[in-house]
Chain A
Amino acid sequence: MAIEEPIEEKEEAVQQTAERYKVRIENVNGWYGSKRAIKDVNLNVKEKTVTAFIGPSGCGKTTLLRCLNRMHEMTPGAHADGRVIVDGVDIYDKSIDPVIIKRRIGMVFQKPNPFPTMSIFDNVSAGLRLNGMNNKTIIREIVEESLRNAALWDEVKNQLDEPGMSLSGGQQQRLCIARALAMQPEVLLMDEPTSSLDPFGSSKIEELVRILKDNVTIIIVTHNMQQAARVSDFTAFMYLGDLIEYGSTNQIFMNPEKELTERYISGKFG
């Protein structure tokens, strides 16, 4: 494809202005059996920014996201190759335990998935407790802080023993964000976190994303272009497994270089 050449120029431009990259994606391929769902993707993500992956259904944006914490390979028959360098360490290196890597890179899923047998408190503390932490004071502090950071504390502080499933859809999703934040992640991956929520729930999550980026590097997959425009600093447009264009969100939306990007942004397909 002739599309690929100018991407590198673009990346160089980004690289010059950036001081430090939190996540560097190098030649990543994602496979389902023998089908290549993402093709040689190269992308650098700056620390404490929000990066959005956009593109039509089936373009590989979720697969790419799931390659960033080695969740992709958990799907039966799926595997990934290439390098994903987080803070200078390749998470695909043979010496790295794929279980450990997920403690540093949090993930929020498309549908809220709180643990149904656990209370609100236990949901947030699950990652801590089940990873062996048993200092009750510290756990309690982290739970409160995480719920505050997820903008849920005021709504649930008097019902921490209620089941997590008793919350509304939007609250459940913020509970899942709190659960991820409790692990003190440096990178937070969000896979269409608002697609199953109503507009009110969605706007709460978006607000949260803008606040959270002060502490965490966020990568968010979204179907909703307005959402990408509202919350992200950088946007990557993907199509049929290729990274078509990557740049600052302003540039992608106001002045895309590729015709394909322009056509997608303006709603001509997708």
Chain B
Amino acid sequence: MTLDSNSDSNSNSKPNKNYRHILQETVNKKYRRRLLVNRLVTIFTIVCVIAAIVPLVSILLEVVKNGASAISFEFLTQPQGSMGSGTGGIAPAIQGTIIVVGLASLIAAPIGVLAGIYLSEFAKKGIFVDLVRFFNDVLTGLPSIVIGIVGYTAIVLTTGSFSVIAGALSLSIIMIPIVVRVTEETLKVVPYSLREAGYSLGISKAIITLFIVLPSAKNGILTGIVIAISRIAGETAPLIMTILGTSLFFTGITGPVDALPLRIWRLSSQPYESAHAFGWGSALILILMILALSVGLRLWAQKRSLKAVI
């Protein structure tokens, strides 16, 4: 701006020098302002980081403070004692969460990854693929209680009982679209030159995808799967509609089972002090399980790809 408005009057004699002068002046004038803005923006971003971290840390502290005292060997290994007695533990809920979430992951991870591979590597541009992507995104945003109702009407009502299968299928419906999206996005980042190198060796597309492209994207996809597992491990609403919750251990995949989020929800609605302490303890266990899973998988992935990274 400044350059344009002044250039006419100054351009007759030594234009270069005058431009330089004007530019210098402008830069000097704006310099203090820029320093100030720079500092303000830095402060603002730090404030935002704190605003994001404070709730997280305070939740974690609160959970640890209230929950740590409830945890004992008995708490981790026994089913709940009589109501309000404060005896027993949450073992069936831990077991149930592992079984239901594990089964859901076993269903959702392969389907999600393969669908993501299809979208990224094999799908031809067109209305079909656009529709698949659109509905996949819609599915990601669907309230989980709706998926619970679907599980309830489709499986619980038709089979006549609340069951592990109904819960696992509902959770896998939540998980699949996340895995599809992450897989597609991660594969798209793998440089085309790698696929090209594969083609130039006369390797077929399927083999290139499986043995060259997929390994390069492994860490990203694994991270996506872990995020999706963490998400479904904390789901409560669909489980109310599908596995019901029980204070007993696992009896079979066609019977009801307990899960940590369900247990937390039920315990928190009881009037007893001891039940609340159990609830906090269950929350702490759930958080620790998710943490262990994500750290564990990441370490495992790192160890396996360390050679390729260095």
Residues of A within 8 A of B191 (CB): 113
In the complex, are the beta carbons of A117 and B305 less than 8 A apart? yes
Of the listed residues A103, A111, A126, the one surrounded by the most CB atoms of chain B closer than 10 A to its CB is: A126
For the complex, is B199 an interface residue (Cβ under 8 Å from A)? yes
In this complex, what residue of B is CB-closest to A106?
B200
Q: How far is the CB of B174 from chain A (nearest CB, A)?
A: 31
Known contacts: A117-B215, A117-B308, A163-B310. The answer to whether A176 contacts B197 by CB under 8 A is yes
For the complex, is B53 an interface residue (Cβ under 8 Å from A)? no
In the complex, are the beta carbons of B216 and A116 less than 8 A apart? yes
Chain A positions 216 through 232: 1 when the CB is less than 8 Å from some CB of chain B, otherwise 0: 00000000000000000
Q: How many A-B residue pairs have CB under 8 A?
A: 82
In the complex, are the beta carbons of A131 and B196 less than 8 A apart? no
CA distance A263 to B6 in the complex (A): 45
Residues of B within 8 A of A127 (CB): 201-203
Known contacts: A109-B193, A115-B212, A163-B310. The answer to whether A130 contacts B199 by CB under 8 A is no
Segment of A2-10, A51-59, A94-102, A148-156 in the binding face = A94-102
CA distance A101 to B200 in the complex (A): 9
Residues of B within 8 A of A103 (CB): 201-202
In the complex, are the beta carbons of B201 and A180 less than 8 A apart? yes
In the complex, are the beta carbons of B202 and A180 less than 8 A apart? no
In this complex, what residue of B is CB-closest to A161?
B307
CA distance A67 to B292 in the complex (A): 52
For the complex, is A183 an interface residue (Cβ under 8 Å from B)? yes
Residues of A within 8 A of B199 (CB): 71, 74, 99, 102
In the complex, are the beta carbons of A113 and B193 less than 8 A apart? yes
For the complex, is B211 an interface residue (Cβ under 8 Å from A)? yes
Interchain CB contact (< 8 A) of A113 among B196, B218, B305: B196
For the complex, is A166 an interface residue (Cβ under 8 Å from B)? yes
Of the listed residues A106, A116, A118, A176, the one surrounded by the most CB atoms of chain B closer than 10 A to its CB is: A116
Residues of B within 8 A of A99 (CB): 199, 202-205
For the complex, is A24 an interface residue (Cβ under 8 Å from B)? no
In the complex, are the beta carbons of A102 and B201 less than 8 A apart? yes
For the complex, is B194 an interface residue (Cβ under 8 Å from A)? yes
Q: Which of B237-286 contact A (CB under 8 A)?
A: none
CA distance A161 to B306 in the complex (A): 13
Known contacts: A113-B194, A115-B194, A116-B194. The answer to whether A102 contacts B215 by CB under 8 A is no
In the complex, are the beta carbons of B194 and A109 less than 8 A apart? no
In the complex, are the beta carbons of B194 and A183 less than 8 A apart? no
CA distance A111 to B218 in the complex (A): 23
Residues of A within 8 A of B204 (CB): 99
| Size bracket of the B interface | 20 to 34
CA distance A113 to B197 in the complex (A): 7
Residues of A within 8 A of B309 (CB): 163
In the complex, are the beta carbons of B201 and A166 less than 8 A apart? no
| Interface residues of A, dominant DSSP | mixed
Known contacts: A116-B216, A117-B215, A165-B308. The answer to whether A131 contacts B202 by CB under 8 A is yes
CA distance A153 to B247 in the complex (A): 66
In the complex, are the beta carbons of A74 and B196 less than 8 A apart? yes
In this complex, what residue of B is CB-closest to A179?
B201
In the complex, are the beta carbons of A130 and B196 less than 8 A apart? no
For the complex, is A49 an interface residue (Cβ under 8 Å from B)? no
Q: How far is the CB of B256 from chain A (nearest CB, A)?
A: 44
In this complex, what residue of B is CB-closest to A74?
B199
In the complex, are the beta carbons of A163 and B202 less than 8 A apart? no
Q: Which of B180-239 contact A (CB under 8 A)?
A: 191, 193-194, 196-205, 207-208, 211-212, 215-216, 218
Q: How far is the CB of B159 from chain A (nearest CB, A)?
A: 44
Would you mind naming 30 contact pairs between A and B with Cβ atoms under 8 Å apart?
A: A69-B200, A71-B199, A99-B205, A102-B200, A103-B201, A104-B202, A106-B201, A107-B200, A109-B197, A111-B193, A113-B197, A115-B194, A117-B212, A117-B218, A117-B305, A118-B308, A119-B307, A126-B203, A127-B202, A130-B207, A130-B212, A131-B207, A161-B307, A163-B308, A163-B310, A165-B308, A166-B310, A176-B197, A180-B200, A183-B201
| Pairs A-B, 7 closest by C-beta atoms | A103-B202, A127-B201, A107-B200, A102-B202, A117-B215, A113-B193, A130-B203
Beyond the given A103-B201, A126-B198, A127-B203, please list 15 additional residue pairs across the A-B interface where CB-CB is below 8 A: A69-B200, A99-B202, A106-B201, A111-B193, A113-B193, A114-B197, A117-B215, A130-B207, A130-B208, A131-B203, A163-B308, A163-B309, A165-B308, A176-B197, A180-B201
Interface residues of A, Cβ cutoff 8 Å to B: 69, 71, 74, 99-104, 106-107, 109, 111, 113-119, 126-127, 130-131, 161-163, 165-166, 176, 179-180, 183
